[in-house]
Amino acid sequence: MLADGSNALVYYKDQLEKMAPLTGELSLPGWDSSYRKEDLKALFEEYSHVSEEKLWQNLQYFLEAVIPVAEESGVNMAIHPDDPPWNIFGLPRIITCKENLDRFLKLVDSPANGLTFCTGSLGCTKQNDIYSMIDEYSKMGRIHFMHVRNVKILDDGSFEESAHFSACGSLDIPRIMKILHDNGFAGYVRPDHGRMIWGETGRAGYGLYDRALGAAYLNGIWETLDKYAKE
């Protein structure tokens, strides 16, 4: 529970270090609870031979097969960053930072091969300058989908998902929207995750009310940018 009384998804390093996914007791967003402990153990053992370079090879194989078809069909593919953008439970992650995003876009250098730029995923570490990244990739036309949400980075590098309003977290949401507006971004934008507020129950991060507030907040910023850009 956050200081404002809401429930949200969080990443506390000290707690995560004590978690063991193979015990069968771990529950995470998107976690397939149908796996038995023996199934998870077998999957982890099989995946233990997959290095970061192997992930890159697999991804390139996929893109080289799919992107030409996407081009023919007028479809834009948009990869979502790893969340959080670092290795977890000993498993490698590669869509994590500018260097790796640059590498990804060059695997198959096509306008159809683009990004779902999630400010919460990439912005939960101060090592990522998400403002310059959004500026560069939106100018290139390689951002096809924006997930705009806020996170509060804690002193030890942990983070909490927060309200979209800039003062509630570590990200400057109006600055993000202004970069997109200045660059003529015409792709899709959504508020993405939200807290559980006003007595709503369910899995934290997927509440309806706070995401609706986030959508209204982003629309208000965009309307303001539109209005004063024309004056």
pLDDT at 110: 98
172: Cβ contacts below 8 Å, ≥ 6 apart: 131, 166
Total of domains in the chain:
1
Quick: pLDDT tens for 90-119.
889 999 999 999 999 999 999 999 999 999
Res. 35 pLDDT band, cuts 50 70 90: low
The tokens for 215 are 């959508």
Average pLDDT, the chain: 91
> When comparing pLDDT for 27 and 130, which is higher?
130
Is 207 within a domain?
Answer: yes
Res. 37 pLDDT band, cuts 50 70 90: confident
21, pLDDT greater than 80: no
Check which CATH number belongs to the domain holding 76 and give it. Answer: 3.20.20.150
Beta strands in 72-140 (DSSP E): 77-79, 113-118
Is 131 within a domain?
Answer: yes
**Which pTM value belongs to this model?**
0.92
pLDDT at 229: 82
Is 3 within a domain?
Answer: no
Contact 114, 144 (CB under 8 A): yes
231, pLDDT greater than 80: no
192: Cβ contacts below 8 Å, ≥ 6 apart: 118, 120, 147, 148, 149, 211, 214
225, pLDDT greater than 80: yes
Q: What is the mean pLDDT of residues 220-225?
A: 96
Catalytic residues: 80, 118, 147, 192-193, 206
Res. 36 pLDDT band, cuts 50 70 90: confident
28, pLDDT greater than 70: no
d(CA 14, CA 226): 44
20: Cβ contacts below 8 Å, ≥ 6 apart: 26
Domain extent at residue 225: 10-23+33-229
State percent of the chain over pLDDT 70. 94
pLDDT at 88: 87
Is 1 within a domain?
Answer: no
Beta strands in the chain (DSSP E): 10-11, 77-79, 113-118, 143-147, 151-153, 159-161, 188-190
The single residue listed with the structure tokens 């007595």 is 199
Is 210 within a domain?
Answer: yes
Is 17 within a domain?
Answer: yes
Is 2 within a domain?
Answer: no
Is 205 within a domain?
Answer: yes
